[in-house]
Amino acid sequence: MKPKKQAALLNAAEEVKKRVGAEKWASGILDAMGETVLIYDLQGKLIQANTLFTKTMNIDPAEIIGKTSLEAGIVTQEGFQEVVTRIIPELMKSGFVPDHEMTAVRRDGTTFPVSVAWSLMRDPKGVPLAIINVVKDMSRLKEAEAALKELSRKIMDAREEEKKRVSQELHDEMGTLAVGLTNKLGLAKKNILAKLPGPAVEFIDQSTRLLTESVEKIKKIAVALRPPQLDIIGLPDALREYVENIEKDSGLRIAFKAEVRQGDIPPAAAIALYRVAQEALNNVIKHAGAKKAALELTLEKGHLLFSVRDDGAGFETGPALRNPKSIGLIGMQERIESVHGQLRIRSEPGKGTEVRVVLPLKARPAP
Task: List phi, psi (to 5°) of 103.
Answer: -110, 120
pLDDT of 305: 92
Residue 17: what pLDDT? 42
Nearest by Cα to 56 from 162, 164, 139, 157: 139
Of 207, 204, 206, the closest CA to residue 181 belongs to 207
| Mean pLDDT, rounded, for 296-318 | 86
3-state secondary structure of 169: helix
DSSP string, 314-364: ---HHHHHH-TT-HHHHHHHHHHHHTT-EEEEEE-TTS-EEEEEEEE-PPP
For the cut 70, the answer to whether the pLDDT of residue 327 exceeds it is no
Output the pLDDT for position 62.
81
For domain 3-137, give the CATH number: 3.30.450.20
CA neighbor of 72 nearest in space, from 50, 105, 41, 101: 105
pLDDT per position as a tens digit, 81-98 = 999 999 999 999 888 998
DSSP state of 34: S
Instruction: Please tell me the distance from the alpha carbon of residue 329 to that of residue 180, in angstroms, as a whole number.
Output: 40
Reply yes or no on whether the pLDDT at 191 is more than 80: yes
pTM of the full structure: 0.48
* Distance of alpha carbon 350 from alpha carbon 277, whole angstroms: 22
134-157 average pLDDT score = 79
What pLDDT is attached to residue 233?
75
Residue 139 burial by Cβ neighbours in a 10 Å radius (0-12, 13-18, 19+): middle
* C-alpha angle 278-284-287 in degrees, rounded to nearest 5: 125
> Residue 126's closest CA among 271, 8, 245?
8
Residue 117 has pLDDT above 50, yes or no: yes
CB 58 within 8 A of CB 147: no
Indicate the pLDDT class of residue 34, thresholds 50, 70 and 90. low
The CA-CA-CA angle for residues 254, 257, 263, to 5°, reads 135
Question: Residue 366 gets which letter from DSSP?
Answer: P
Boundaries of every domain in the chain: 3-137, 138-225, 227-367
Cβ(248)–Cβ(220) under 8 Å? no
Per-residue confidence (pLDDT) for residue 297, from 0 to 100: 92
Amino acid at 302: G
3-137 and 227-367, same CATH topology: no
In the prediction, which pLDDT does 321 show? Answer: 60
Residue pLDDT, tens place only, 38-67? 889 888 999 888 888 877 788 887 888 899
Which residues neighbour 150 within 8 Å (Cβ) at sequence distance 6 or greater? 324
Instruction: Say if CB 65 and CB 46 are below 8 A apart.
Output: yes
Residue 159: the pLDDT is 67
Q: Which residue has the higher pLDDT, 280 or 251?
A: 280
Q: How confident is the model at residue 224 (pLDDT cuts 50, 70, 90)?
A: low
- How does pLDDT run across 263-282, given as a tens digit for each residue? 778 888 888 898 899 888 88
Asked if 87 and 118 count as a contact pair (C-beta separation under 8 A), the reply is: yes
Return d(Cα 131, Cα 9) in angstroms, integer: 11
Residue 10, pLDDT above cutoff 80: no
Residue 77: per-residue pLDDT: 92
Please spell the DSSP secondary structure of 270-297, one letter per residue.
Answer: HHHHHHHHHHHHHHIIIII--SEEEEEE
| Phi-psi label, residue 352: left if phi above 0, alpha if psi -120 to 50, beta otherwise | left
Confidence check: pLDDT of 197 > 50: yes
Q: How would residue 320 be classed by pLDDT, with cut points 50, 70 and 90?
A: low
Q: What pLDDT does 332 receive? A: 84
Distance of alpha carbon 329 from the chain centroid: 11
* Helix, strand, coil content of the chain in percent (nearest 5): 55, 20, 25
What is the architecture, at CATH level 2, of domain 227-367? 2-Layer Sandwich (3.30)
Q: How confident is the model at residue 146 (pLDDT cuts 50, 70, 90)?
A: confident
- Contact between 237 and 229 (Cβ < 8 Å): yes
Average pLDDT, the chain: 80
Cα distance between the two ends of the chain = 75
The helix (H) or strand (E) run that includes residue 129 is: strand 128-137
Q: What percent of the chain has pLDDT over 90?
A: 12
Q: Which residues contact 50 (CB under 8 A, 6 or more apart)?
A: 28, 30, 31, 33, 36, 37
* pLDDT at residue 163 is higher than 50: yes
pLDDT, residue 47, reads: 86
pLDDT at 32: 43
